[in-house]
Amino acid sequence: MSPGLLHYLAVSGLIFLIGLAGVVVRRNIIVVYMCLELMLAAGVLAMVVFSRFLGQTDGQVFVFFIITVAAAEVAVGLALIVALFRARRTTRLDELNTLRF
Amino acid sequence: MPGALWWLLLLLPIGSALLITAVLRPYRVASAAVSVFSAGACFMLAVWGVASGAAAPEPVAWLRASDWVVMVAMMLDPLAEVMLLVVTGVGFVIHVFSLGYMSDDPGRSRFFGGLSLFMFSMTGIVVSGNLVMTFIFWELVGVSSYLLIGFWFERPSAAAAANKAFIVNRIGDFGFLLGILAVWGTLGDLGFGPLRAKIEAGALDTAPWLPVFLMALGLFCGAVGKSAQVPLHVWLPDAMEGPTPVSALIHAATMVAAGVYFLCRVFFLIEMSVPALDVIAWTGGATALVAALIAVRQDDIKRVLAYSTVSQLGYMVMAVGLAAPAAAMFHLCTHAFFKALLFLAAGSVIHALHHQQDIWKMGGLRTAMPVTFWTFAAGALALAGCPGLSGFFSKEAILEAAHETASPLLWLGLLTAFLTAFYMSRLAMVAFFGEGRERRAREAKESPAVMVVPLVVLAVLSVVGGGLGIYGVLRGEAAAADAEGHGWLVPALSFLVFAAGVGTGAWLYRDRERDPLRLGALRDKLYFDEVYGATVVAANGRLAQFWDWFDHFVISSLFVRGTGLVAGGVGNACRFLQGVGASGYAFLFAAGAALLLLWAAVR
Amino acid sequence: MDATFFEWVLFWTLAVGAVGFALLVVAGRSPVSSALSLACSMVFGAGLMVQLRAYFIAAVQVLVYAGAVIVLFLFIIMLMDLRAEVGRRRGALGLLAVAVVCVSMAVAGWRALAPLAGGGGPPPAAPDEVRQFGRLLFADNVLPLEVTGVLLLVVMVGVVVLCRPGGADGERGRP
């Protein structure tokens, strides 16, 4: 018996949780961003898994769009980080507290 | 005349008022012309309409609330027609007189605008066919009187007088409003015609006396305020602060007459309650006497006339209370003629003396201003009740009514008549006879024709007004026939009282430099203003202080700022929740999601 | 050595690789190593997709993520000359809290997914799956595809604007 649905989903879930933990724990804004990408990739993987196990190709089309939009998002996010870095000379999340009460 | 033309009676004055206020403000001559034209046209219209017996126009539905409709309706019975002629006629004469009197006032446009509004409101009351309309025009009269009494608003006394007139009238109008509500509550209708039909059908025959009494009293309250009855008479003498034509208008043709006219209009309602009639009669009697007493010791020519008006209004109200509304209306008409005449004559004197109003600084005007003197004399004699002049007939009609009911009010009325003759002769003696006491009085000249002609017209009306058949119209044809045969007692007493009053006045005040009578209490108007100041006004001030304190410390501090402080404190206490930074938010978000997932899993 | 055993070996290798490199992303001290770990994790994830016979998405994943996105990350890191993270780390309490949250999420997920256990591999892929995929993408979903293209264009313009020397405010933002 080959690996089942649950196995693949477990991998996806683990990656997701690791990404989540990274988002919370890390202070470097770029690393936090990478962790966000990790979570997104975990979601993509889960989507592919479901698509294949349900035998429906539509899910993969969806994933294609997700990846495209995620790439766009990365570009914009990194541009923002660059702008932020120019203005504040830092990439540490806990130093970006201008709007904090 | 087509009935629909009656609407012009209302549209002309309001159109004139709006036109003057909106467009013609800077053009003083044009404003005056428009206003006088509209007043004249109204008078012509009224004459034409009454002469041709035109029917009232079709009522127009104005407000609808389910099955209850407020109509804009006119009621044109003989009562309204007589009043209409008096209002528009006297109003027109006063308009013409104002042309001369106000010729050098910079605010003439505003004045004529106010005058037109006043005519509009008063005409509205006269022709109104239901209580809602009456109330609206009633308030409009209050507004326009406020505007005109306070015409010289830069004078603090004029502004205060305008406020006083307005506020005192509000007190009466509150009762009026309650009365209207009571009428609606008990009879379920507000039109005069339907109300009358219902009452004649016996709608109130089985009603307990107290609600009917209170209803009548509420309606009477409005008249107490407008017609300046004791104890709400205090505004009228102060209203002398307005220009003299306004005083004439208020006293003769419009505002104060509205109260008496209204009482006659709803007399069919009031007479359902005998106690209310008693209250009305005695209020009127008291007013007549009190005002006459005060008038005896006033030095301002307009104030004497003002208290005389209050006193005569007391007479009229007394007549209503004695169940003789026709006599009241008769006296109202004759009074409109001679009181307008007296005020305009006084205005002529004041104009000639450059706004000197103290009679003890006049004197000798008989020769300087002959036309003014003779017309004033005619008015004064009519007011005093000289036999043959209009005032004698109307006053006698009221006294006759008192005599018929054998009421002690007859003696009160006679005493008032004596006082009236006395103070009018005093006024004439001091102001017109003897030598001029001041340079201005010695140099006075007769007023221009535009002011003198109205005086002559009104003087003629004052002399012959008693014989015009107004009384017959008001009483109806049948009653007029037997009205001739009453006894000789009342006329004789009236004449005696008149002769005694004039004689005493002439004897006491001939060639005097100062007032021979002390009577400080009368000079101080029986302390009405002082008593009100010490009680009502002071209590109101205390109450206002308390509420100011309440507003400041309870509303503002406790509620408003307290609420703000609580919100701010809670926010301060909770702000640590918001202070964790982006990672913290992510963590809280994740924790929340985890909690939801756990809840979903274990559910 | 049958095919099933081989599949298990492959699965475990790929799974451990993907998860392990994901852990390295979080644990790595320098951003460069994090980025490289992310790329590796993505490649292993793509391997899992290959094992599921979703070849096209696997290729896209490698090209877009491991290729473009990671290169972008690396480029930015180099541009900003980022060093290893300095300053204090999270306290033990914070880490514990994060761990509690993650574990509870995992437990909840496990409880939800446990009924799906077993059942073997996915159904065999249709022989013309890529053709099907192309038809779906370029015929049935052509409008979203075009919209995505416009989105990419907008993103490109936006990024250029954001990264100008004056920032989004243009010349006025220059200090």
User: Which of A23-32, B414-423, B522-531, C92-101 has the lowest average pLDDT?
Assistant: B522-531
**Assigned CATH for A5-88:** 1.10.287.3510
Lowest-confidence region among B18-22, B229-233, B398-402, C116-120: C116-120
Shared domain check, C121 and C69: yes
Q: For A66-76, how does the pLDDT look when each residue is reduced to its tens digit (9 = 90+)?
A: 999 988 999 99
Q: Do residues C78 and C161 share a domain?
A: no
Report CB contact under 8 Å: B586, A25.
Answer: no
Whether residue C167 has pLDDT greater than 60: no
Grade residue B253 by pLDDT with cuts at 50, 70 and 90: low
Closest CA to B429 of B338, B508, B350, B346: B508
Model pLDDT, residue C22: 93
Rounded-to-integer distance, Cα B162 and Cα B139, Å: 14
Nearest by CB: A75 against C72, C80, C148: C72
Please, how many CA atoms are within 13 Å of residue B518, restricted to the half-sphere of its CB? 1
pLDDT higher than 50, residue C175: no
Does B496 contact chain C (CB < 8 Å)? no
- Residue C121 reports pLDDT greater than 80: no
One-letter identity of residue B571? G
Are C105 and B597 within 8 A, CB to CB? yes
Q: Domain range for residue C38?
A: 3-125
**Among the partner residues C104, C111, C112, nearest to B594 by beta-carbon distance:** C104
Distance CA B88, CA B572 (A): 72
Q: Which pLDDT belongs to residue A45?
A: 92
Give the distance from CA B424 to its chain's centroid.
22
B110-114, B403-407, C136-140: which has the minimum mean pLDDT?
B403-407
- What residues of chain B, 567 to 586, have a C-beta less than 8 Å from chain A? 575, 578-579, 581-583, 586
Instruction: Give the residue among B100, B105, B104 at the shortest CA–CA distance from B36.
Output: B100
Cα distance between residue B565 and residue B558, in whole Å: 10
CA distance C69 to chain A (A): 6
Query: With the C-alpha atoms ordered B126, B130, B134, B137, is the resulting torsion angle positive or negative?
Result: negative
- CA torsion, ordered B152, B157, B158, B162, to nearest 10 deg: 150
pLDDT at B477 over 80: no
Residues in chain B: 603
The percent of residues above 70 in pLDDT, for chain B, comes to 94
Which residues are CB-neighbours of B372 under 8 A, at least 6 positions away? B345, B348, B349, B352, B365, B446, B447, B452, B455
**Structure confidence at residue C88 (pLDDT):** 53
Taking residues B567-586, report their average pLDDT: 79
Average per-residue pLDDT for chain B = 84
Q: What is the pLDDT of residue B460?
A: 87
| Separation CA B87–CA B261 (nearest Å) | 11
Tokens of B283: 């209020």
**Which region among B168-172, B433-437, B474-478, C56-60 has the lowest average model confidence (pLDDT)?**
B474-478
pLDDT score for C119: 66
Lowest mean per-residue pLDDT among B19-23, B460-464, C115-119: C115-119
Q: What is the distance between the alpha carbons of residues B179 and B317, in angstroms, rounded to a whole number? A: 18
pLDDT computed for residue B74 by the predictor = 85
Tens digit of pLDDT for each residue in B443-458? 777 778 877 888 888 8
Name the least confident of B140-144, B527-531, C53-57, C108-112. B527-531
Residue C155's pLDDT band, with cuts at 50, 70 and 90, is very high
The model's confidence at residue B129, banded by pLDDT at 50, 70 and 90, is confident
Mean pLDDT in residue range B484-489: 64
Please state the domain extents for chain A. 5-88
Whether A24 and B587 lie within 8 Å, measured CB to CB: yes
Q: Do B578 and A20 touch (CB under 8 A)?
A: no
Q: Contact at 8 Å (CB) between B252 and B308?
A: no
List chain C residues with CB under 8 Å of A9: 113, 116
Of B106-110, B406-410, B565-569, the poorest mean pLDDT is in B406-410
Q: Tell me the β-bridge partners of B70.
A: B63
C57 and C76 in a single domain? The answer is yes
Decide if C4 and A51 are in contact by the 8 Å CB cutoff: no
> What is the pLDDT at residue A44?
92
- Condensed to tens digits (0 to 9), the pLDDT of residues B197-226 reads 888 887 777 778 888 888 888 889 888 888
pLDDT in tens, B139-185: 998 898 898 888 888 888 888 889 888 888 888 899 999 999 988 88
DSSP H helices in B188-229: 192-200, 209-226
Count how many domains chain C has.
Answer: 2
How wide is the angle at C-alpha B478 spanned by C-alphas B472 and B480, nearest 5°? 30
Shared domain check, C133 and C100: no
Rounded-to-integer distance, Cα A45 and Cα A53, Å: 12
**Do C102 and C34 sit in the same domain of this protein?**
yes
- pLDDT tens profile B7-33: 888 899 999 999 988 888 888 888 888
- Partnered with residue B71 across adjacent β-strands are B61
Note the pLDDT of residue B41: 92
The string of pLDDT tens digits covering residues B357-367 is: 888 888 778 88
Q: What is the pLDDT of residue A98?
A: 67
Q: Which residue from C minimizes the CA distance to A71?
A: C69
- Contact of A97 with chain B, judged by CB distance below 8 Å, is answered with yes
What integer pLDDT is reported at residue C154 of this predicted model? Answer: 93
Residue type, B4: A
Instruction: Sort out which chain A residues have CB atoms less than 8 A from C7's CB and list them.
Output: 2-3
Between B190 and B580, name the one with better pLDDT: B190
Query: Both C36 and C119 in a single domain?
Result: yes
Enumerate residues 563 to 602 of chain B having a beta carbon within 8 A of any beta carbon in chain C: 587, 590-591, 593-594, 597-598, 600-602
| Residue C173 predicted with pLDDT over 50 | no
Is the domain of C112 the same as that of C145? Answer: no
Which of B591, B600, B602 shows the shortest C-beta gap to C101? B591
* B440 or B193: which leads in pLDDT: B193
pLDDT digits (tens, 9 = 90+) for B32-80: 889 999 999 999 998 988 888 778 788 888 888 777 778 888 888 888 8
Q: What is the CATH number of the domain that holds C34?
A: 1.20.120.1200
Average of per-residue pLDDT across B298-312? 87
pLDDT at A7 over 90: no
Contact between chains at A97 and B587 (C-beta distance less than 8 A) = no
> Higher-confidence residue: B436 or A12?
A12
Q: What is the pLDDT of residue A17?
A: 92
Q: Is the pLDDT of residue C19 over 90?
A: yes
Query: Rounded mean pLDDT of B183-196?
Result: 85
The yes-or-no verdict on residue B299 having pLDDT over 80 is yes
Task: Tell which of B576, B578, B583 to mutate to test the A interface (max A CBs under 10 Å).
Answer: B583
- Chain A residues in contact with C83 by the CB 8 A cut-off are none
Contacts of B579 in chain A (CB under 8 A): 100-101
**Mean pLDDT score, B502-531:** 76
C36 and C55 in one domain? yes
Is residue C3 predicted with pLDDT exceeding 80?
no
Same domain flag for C35 and C68: yes
Q: Does residue B167 sit at the C interface (CB-CB below 8 Å)?
A: no
Dist. CA B497–CA B505, nearest whole Å: 12
CB-CB under 8 Å, C23 with A78: no
CA angle B31, B32, B35 (to 5 degrees): 85
Q: What pLDDT, on the 0 to 100 scale, is given for residue B300?
A: 86
What pLDDT is attached to residue B4? 79
Query: Above 80 in pLDDT, residue B471?
Result: no
**Cβ contact B598–C112 (<8 Å):** no
C-alpha dihedral sign at C68, C70, C75, C79: positive
Sign of CA dihedral B359, B361, B367, B371: negative
Any chains having at least 3 CB pairs less than 8 A from chain A are B, C
Q: Per-residue confidence at C174, pLDDT binned at 50, 70, 90?
A: very low
Measure the CA–CA gap between B406 and C97, rounded to whole angstroms. Answer: 105
Option in C98, C107, C108 nearest B587 (CB): C98
Distance of residue B542 Cα from the nearest chain A Cα, in angstroms: 48
Residue B232: the pLDDT is 83
CA dist., res. B133 & res. B60, Å (int): 12
**pLDDT of C166 strictly over 70:** no
Together in a domain, C82 and C101: yes
**Both structure tokens of B147:** 């505007």
Are C96 and C112 members of one domain?
A: yes
Tell me how many residue pairs between chain B and chain C have CB atoms under 8 A apart.
29
ipTM: 0.89
Judging contacts by C-beta atoms under 8 Å, the chain A residues touching residue B568 are none
Six-digit token pair at C122? 């996915």
C167 and C116 within one domain: no
B591 min Cα distance to partner chain A (Å): 11
